[in-house]
Amino acid sequence: GAVVSQHPSWVICKSGTSVKIECRSLDFQATTMFWYRQFPKQSLMLMATSNEGSKATYEQGVEKDKFLINHASLTLSTLTVTSAHPEDSSFYICSARGLAGESYNEQFFGPGTRLTVL
Amino acid sequence: RKEVEQDPGPFNVPEGATVAFNCTYSNSASQSFFWYRQDCRKEPKLLMSVYSSGNEDGRFTAQLNRASQYISLLIRDSKLSDSATYLCVSEPSGGYNKLIFGAGTRLAVHP
């Protein structure tokens, strides 16, 4: 099956610093990647949709200047949490949609990145 | 009102039991529906898609009632390994694959 990796798997940082999270599709090309955030005991909330070579589309209420998304290639998207604060502490999960074939409509999820801001 | 609503549970059942989860969605234009399984501190994994005609995959049966905007998941002969959170998911039409997740229903299967 299609594999999506995320790096790092967890990160602890001080308030005010920026954190970059990478999402890679390892064995397929992904035209579209999605970034989600999940707080404890809550549902995954879509933050933004990222298309290769174009600007990300952010969901209502998500600050695009705080959560910078770059999707420079068909296998890599990055999410940078700028000037992180404790309320940004969460589980960030990416998913990737396949380019073609059987996996075209399915989203494959990365293992997630747990961010803790002190 | 949340777009996808689920009973959070937890459902505590013995091995071998049959358990059913329900889910309602508010967007009548939603086209596709799924059940995902999420283990603690892990990413969600697709369990099965849900079709209007109902579909079955081994011990799992999913049903969709578009008139009532209601989705169900039935698990027969529960195993300890079924313990997880089950997420009901809708995909709005024309949404470029956006997935709307419910908060999940927690299942704990005990010996």
The burial class, CB within 10 Å (0-12 / 13-18 / 19+), for A98 is buried
Q: Are B73 and B58 in contact (CB under 8 A)?
A: no
Q: What is the pLDDT of residue A99?
A: 61
Residue A67's identity, in one-letter code, is F
Alpha-carbon span B33 to A103, nearest angstrom = 16
Q: What mean pLDDT comes out for the span B41-55?
A: 89
Q: What is the pLDDT of residue A15?
A: 96
Structure tokens that stand for A77 in this block: 């998207």
- Locate the DSSP E strands across chain A: 4-7, 10-13, 19-25, 30-38, 45-51, 57-58, 67-73, 76-81, 90-98, 107-109, 113-117
Coil, strand, or helix at residue B44?
A: strand
Residues of B in contact with A34 (CB under 8 A): 97-99
What is the pLDDT confidence band of residue A105, given thresholds at 50, 70 and 90? low
Residues of B in contact with A44 (CB under 8 A): 44, 87, 99, 101
Kindly report, residue by residue over B58-74, the tens digit of the pLDDT: 999 999 999 999 999 99
Residue appearing with tokens 């013995």 = B14
What is the pLDDT confidence band of residue A112, given thresholds at 50, 70 and 90? very high
Q: What mean pLDDT comes out for the span B81-96?
A: 86
Flag whether pLDDT at A59 surpasses 90: yes
Q: Count how many pairs of residues, chain A against chain B, have C-beta atoms within 8 Å.
A: 45
Q: What is the pLDDT of residue A1?
A: 66
Flag whether pLDDT at A101 surpasses 60: no
Q: Which of B4, B38, B41, B43 to mutate to test the interface with A (most CBs of A within 10 A)?
A: B43
Flag whether pLDDT at A114 surpasses 90: yes
Flag whether pLDDT at B27 surpasses 90: no
Minimal Cβ distance to B43: which of A41, A106, A109: A109
Q: Are A28 and A103 in contact (CB under 8 A)?
A: yes
Q: What is the pLDDT of residue B41?
A: 86
Flag whether pLDDT at A102 surpasses 70: no
Of the ranges A41-55, A75-89, B15-29, which one carries the lowest mean pLDDT score?
A: A41-55
Closest residue, chain A, to B5 (C-alpha):
A43
* Rg, chain A, Cα only: 14
Q: What mean pLDDT comes out for the span A83-95?
A: 96
Q: What is the pLDDT of residue B36?
A: 95
Residues of A in contact with B3 (CB under 8 A): none
What is the pLDDT confidence band of residue B106, given thresholds at 50, 70 and 90? very high
Q: Are B86 and B36 in contact (CB under 8 A)?
A: yes
Structure tokens that stand for A9 in this block: 């798997």
From the CA of A97, how many Å to the nearest CA of chain B?
A: 8
From the CA of A28, how many Å to the nearest CA of chain B?
A: 17
Alpha-carbon span B46 to A88, nearest angstrom = 27
